[in-house]
Amino acid sequence: MNKSKTGHILYLMVHFPFVWWWKIGITGKTAKGRAKQVDRAVFGRPVVVMVVPIPGAYLIEQDLHRRFRFFNCRFYKGDGSTEFFWFPVAVLVLPFMVAVWAGYIRGIDLIFGTHIFEFIISIFI
């Protein structure tokens, strides 16, 4: 299988200093390591905003890329250049990633009888 398809970590990065460019991608190791790889190919610096380990990350990433193809922004040639999108995409992808983490925490609560999810919600309410 293609190495890029085996990643299980979905990440969202923002380009600095041009914060209107956002990157949706996957990696099999760490998002920080992936940011370093992309940093070598692009001017500026990609900064990791959120990561979520998720089964089927490759399929989810491909689906997100297809859904947001009209927002695609290819401003350089090289590693990861087709995975950058304009800012509105971040407004939609970030809540999705937060929801996945919320599901994980809620699952832990149900399995172990803890109240972590309720505690986190109480912080924001």
Task: Read off the tokens for 123.
Answer: 């912080």
Tell me the pLDDT tens digit for each residue of 37-86.
Answer: 776 777 888 899 999 999 999 999 999 999 999 999 887 776 667 788 99
Mean pLDDT over the full length of the chain: 89
Q: In 3D, which of 99, 96, 105 has the Cα closest to residue 60?
A: 96
Alpha-carbon span 123 to 92, nearest angstrom: 23
With beta carbons less than 8 A apart as the criterion, state whether 38 and 79 touch: yes
Q: Is residue 3 very low, low, confident or very high in pLDDT (cuts 50, 70, 90)? A: low
Q: Is the pLDDT of residue 124 over 70?
A: yes
What is this structure's pTM? 0.85
Between 110 and 83, the higher pLDDT residue: 110
Alpha-carbon span 121 to 10, nearest angstrom: 24
Q: What is the dihedral of CA 80, 62, 98, 81, to 10 degrees?
A: 10
Reported residue count of the chain is 125
